[in-house]
Chains A and B, each alone.
Chain A
Amino acid sequence: MVAITTDVNRPYVPADGATVTATVDVEPGEQREAVERHLLLCLDASGSMDGAKIDQAREGASWVFGLLEPDDYVGIVAFDSEASVVMRPTRWAETSREAAMTHVDRLGAGGGTDMYDGLATARDALETLSHRPETDRAVRRILLLSDGKDNSHDPPEFEDLATEVDESGIRIQSAGIGTDYDEETIRTLGTTARGEWTHLTSPGDIEAFFGDAVERAQSVVATDATLELDAGPGVEVSEVYRALPQAQEVDVAWEANTAVVPLPDLAERERQRVVLKVRAPRREQSGEVALADVTLSAQGREATDRIAVEYTDDGEDLAEHNESVSLDHRQTVVRTELGRGNVEAAETEVEKMTQIHGADTQVVEEVEEQTRLVAEGGREERDRATRIVDDARVE
């Protein structure tokens, strides 16, 4: 069963109130039935992809075919100066590897980069399956690969498009390859449409990017997952981030006292973690108070917990500090900034962490090392910095 657990760094607060840090851990639970996957490979086929990259993109498609189950759907959209549907979404049982490969073999590279049209076309292609009632429960993914910059659209336009894609129930796994793609665009797509963004160093990484995305889609327990925070009067929520699976800042939608934090699809054995700050308002009366009720819902699955503190004037209690919660939040902030390449912002944060928690705290040492790596490194290090190792999982 899906379960959530909340934790706060300061379980006791004074009458004046305080800002506490909270974590919400989501355990996805087990898969009840096999899922149907709707996968759309959205491939950059502009001139710069010519050679090893387009070859490996073909290999990547070939690899994906090996991973499919009969009930899965797969399609391919390629974009250069304009987008084209190379293979419309097709039920795997109704085609064959040979037939699918004839589409893939036709993939060539040339021309400009209209990624926006590519993504919109990919979305439209997947939407052709929307009339099927089964699609409501399907795991729908666009796997986007690009090595360049869109010729005429900027990141905010992509954010709007990704929001639309996300709202239609489709998640985006975005990958940039090489050193010339627009990082902000790739990052925005993965973050906004509740997937992950990834940097690929060499063409040899393409196959694994597709393979991993397709296999992880198979372990999805429930799509359309959200955390709803029902905040008490005077309670303010800020600095909301997803820590796991990837450090990402979350755009929270507020309605009255209720905030909705969108989550990636819940997948078996992939714990998710959301970190946030909560302002506990002034309160004369001592005793325990729920600052926010937290409800996870995903396709009818539900789990609840609350972020609670106890108001007290007992000095010893007030001194209680659950440091790991603070560290989880701060390291997520640092790692998100590192993913954006904001080394200075990260350094400022690390300095604060060092003052509060000490330089020899393991998490502080780790983020310091990550910050150094990003300062000296490039896109690969920025990607890697956003991946927090989940101790419960050993590869």
Chain B
Amino acid sequence: MSAVSEGDLVAGRYELGEVVGEGGFAKVYRATDTKTGETVAVKYPNYEGSQNDRDIVTRYFEKEADTLAAVRDAGGHPNLMSLLAVEEVDGTTVLVVEFVDGYELDSAIHQTGPLSEADHVRQIGIDLCDAMSFLHESEIVYRDLKPDNVVVTDRGGSVTPVLIDFNTATGFDAGGGGADETTIVGPYKPREVAEADRTEMRQGPWSDVYSVGKILLYLLKGTVPRKDGVDPRDFGADCEPYLAEIVEKATRTDYEDRYRNATAMKRVLEARDPTPPAQAQVRYTQEDAVYTVYPGDTIGRRHADGPQSSIVVDDPEEYISTVQVQFDTDEDGEWFIRDRSLNGTYVQTGNGWQRVLCPAGRRRLEARGEDPTDRSGETPPEVFGLRDGDLVALVHPSYGVTFEFQA
């Protein structure tokens, strides 16, 4: 890549301003979109200024581009930096992204000191959980949530955290810790991420739950230990018990002891009650295995290794999606499933099998000339209520992967 500097016009459109950030993988310039007059940020792979090898920089930079594109394709999220364009400049891929004007969370806390208002801490926690849920729904585990990856900015008059770095985010099917993975350590990483090369523990949504918990402690204290299961009160934080208990539970060593996913953690923060939300059970009828499910939990196909759905199913034929269905509850605590698959799901209620299919799956089936309708020829719903005893069949009732829902 040829050297670029302030004043350059990139891709015939973006006029570079000063460097606003530089890390191990990317160098970021403030820029003006000459077409719209808007301030944007232009991200270059940081070959010169990084300690990392060129191919590692390229790999992580591309990973970030893929993740940002996936976020954009899923409709974007107010707590995630948005991708505006991907440009090729002299053979180098550069990203044009939203310019998030604000302070990185660590410098913000350095300036203000720890937050004394539990509600501010709680709101940032809710926003971060919401962002994580959104990523998880797109089958992405963020894996690197830490204060310097979060910028606090003003959106519509309220302080909003926005995630700005995505180079360690990984797909559910990307394999967690291959031998070529760089070790990423630090107090915000749960064991299954920091020690990915030597643990059987799976990475998943619960890995990001851990990091959100540590961020909340950071907001309360301004420092974070590596230790797991941290109760802010043990570190001298003056903190409401519900919040302390949520942080403690979110940061447990064993992922099964944490909130299962960011949706569940968001709910307990909203409710100011650390008790995990309602749970139900599902029985995998062909295997006679019983699983506990929480709102936000998913069923999906197993991969070689790495982050996966909450409940994984062996499916050599690969008809089942990596995230096939998600369980959730509505405001009244009633359970429902949301289909997230490409081939659809069936629910057997009192009067037969009802197909459930997400819009993306429907479009895919239509594109392939396959039937995307349900038994009455209607467009299948994306969500469907569940009652005790209902059967949930992945792909098709005859496919042989059926779960009995037990409220």
Interface membership of B7, Cβ < 8 A: no
Query: Is B185's CB under 8 angstroms from A208's CB?
Result: no
Query: Is B223's CB under 8 angstroms from A208's CB?
Result: yes
Query: Is B236's CB under 8 angstroms from A62's CB?
Result: yes
Q: Which residues of A contact B223 (CB under 8 A)?
A: 63, 207-208, 211
Query: Is B227's CB under 8 angstroms from A67's CB?
Result: yes
Q: Which residues of B contact A94 (CB under 8 A)?
A: none
Interface membership of B183, Cβ < 8 A: yes
Q: Which residues of A contact B198 (CB under 8 A)?
A: 30
* B197-251, CB < 8 A from A: 198, 221-223, 225-227, 230-231, 234-236
Q: Which of the residues B225, B226, B227, B234 comes within 8 Å of A97, measured between beta carbons? A: B234
A97 to chain B, nearest CB (A): 7
A163 to chain B, nearest CB (A): 31
Instruction: Name the residue of chain A whose CB is nearest to the CB of B224.
Output: A211
| Docked CA distance A231–B231 (Å) | 53
Query: Is B51's CB under 8 angstroms from A391's CB?
Result: yes
B37 to chain A, nearest CB (A): 39
| Docked CA distance A394–B230 (Å) | 23
Additional 20 contacts, C-beta under 8 A, given A65-B234, A66-B235, A395-B184: A62-B236, A63-B221, A63-B223, A66-B225, A66-B230, A66-B231, A67-B227, A97-B234, A208-B223, A211-B223, A211-B225, A215-B225, A215-B226, A215-B227, A389-B51, A392-B183, A393-B185, A394-B183, A394-B185, A395-B186
Interface membership of B397, Cβ < 8 A: no
Interface membership of B182, Cβ < 8 A: yes
Instruction: Name the residue of chain B whose CB is nearest to the CB of A366.
Output: B51
| Docked CA distance A214–B235 (Å) | 14
Task: Assess A59 versus B182: contact at CB under 8 Å? Given A66-B230, A215-B226, A389-B51.
Answer: no
Instruction: Name the residue of chain A whose CB is nearest to the CB of B235.
Output: A66
| Docked CA distance A86–B24 (Å) | 45
Interface membership of A269, Cβ < 8 A: yes
- Secondary structure class of chain B's binding surface, majority of residues: loop
A-B pairs with beta carbons under 8 Å apart, 20 shown = A62-B235, A62-B236, A63-B221, A63-B235, A63-B236, A65-B234, A65-B236, A66-B235, A67-B225, A67-B227, A97-B234, A204-B222, A211-B223, A211-B225, A215-B227, A269-B185, A389-B51, A393-B183, A394-B24, A395-B184
Q: Which residues of A contact B227 (CB under 8 A)?
A: 66-67, 215
**What is the interface of chain B, defined by CB distance below 8 A to chain A?**
24, 51, 110, 182-186, 198, 221-223, 225-227, 230-231, 234-236
Q: With contacts defined as CB atoms under 8 Å apart, how many contacts are there between chain A and chain B in the complex?
A: 47
| Docked CA distance A280–B222 (Å) | 54
| Docked CA distance A30–B235 (Å) | 28
| Docked CA distance A204–B106 (Å) | 13
Q: Which of the residues A66, A392, A393 comes within 8 Å of B236, measured between beta carbons? A: A66
Instruction: Name the residue of chain B whose CB is nearest to the CB of A69.
Output: B227
Task: Assess A59 versus B185: contact at CB under 8 Å? Given A67-B225, A211-B223.
Answer: no
Query: Is A59's CB under 8 angstroms from B236's CB?
Result: yes
Query: Is A395's CB under 8 angstroms from B226's CB?
Result: no
**What is the interface of chain A, defined by CB distance below 8 A to chain B?**
30, 59, 62-63, 65-67, 97, 204, 207-208, 211, 215, 269, 389, 391-395
Instruction: Name the residue of chain A whose CB is nearest to the CB of B226.
Output: A215
A32 to chain B, nearest CB (A): 14
| Docked CA distance A66–B236 (Å) | 8
Q: Which residues of A contact B110 (CB under 8 A)?
A: 204
B236 to chain A, nearest CB (A): 4
Q: Which residues of B contact A269 (CB under 8 A)?
A: 183, 185
Instruction: Name the residue of chain A whose CB is nearest to the CB of B24.
Output: A394
A68 to chain B, nearest CB (A): 9
Instruction: Name the residue of chain B whose CB is nearest to the CB of A66.
Output: B235
| Docked CA distance A118–B186 (Å) | 33
Q: Which residues of A contact B183 (CB under 8 A)?
A: 269, 392-394
| Docked CA distance A110–B183 (Å) | 46
A395 to chain B, nearest CB (A): 5
| Docked CA distance A337–B68 (Å) | 46
Query: Is A394's CB under 8 angstroms from B236's CB?
Result: no
| Docked CA distance A119–B221 (Å) | 30
Instruction: Name the residue of chain A whose CB is nearest to the CB of B168.
Output: A394
| Docked CA distance A63–B226 (Å) | 12
B166 to chain A, nearest CB (A): 16
Instruction: Name the residue of chain A whose CB is nearest to the CB of B146.
Output: A395
Instruction: Name the residue of chain A whose CB is nearest to the CB of B184.
Output: A394
A206 to chain B, nearest CB (A): 10
**Highest count of chain A CB atoms <10 Å: which of B183, B184, B221, B225:** B225
| Docked CA distance A66–B217 (Å) | 12
Q: Which residues of A contact B186 (CB under 8 A)?
A: 395
| Docked CA distance A87–B47 (Å) | 52
| Docked CA distance A98–B185 (Å) | 32
Q: Which residues of B contact A392 (CB under 8 A)?
A: 183
Instruction: Name the residue of chain B whose CB is nearest to the CB of A362.
Output: B51
**Highest count of chain A CB atoms <10 Å: which of B110, B185, B235:** B235
Query: Is A394's CB under 8 angstroms from B182's CB?
Result: yes
| Docked CA distance A258–B91 (Å) | 58
Instruction: Name the residue of chain A whose CB is nearest to the CB of B198.
Output: A30
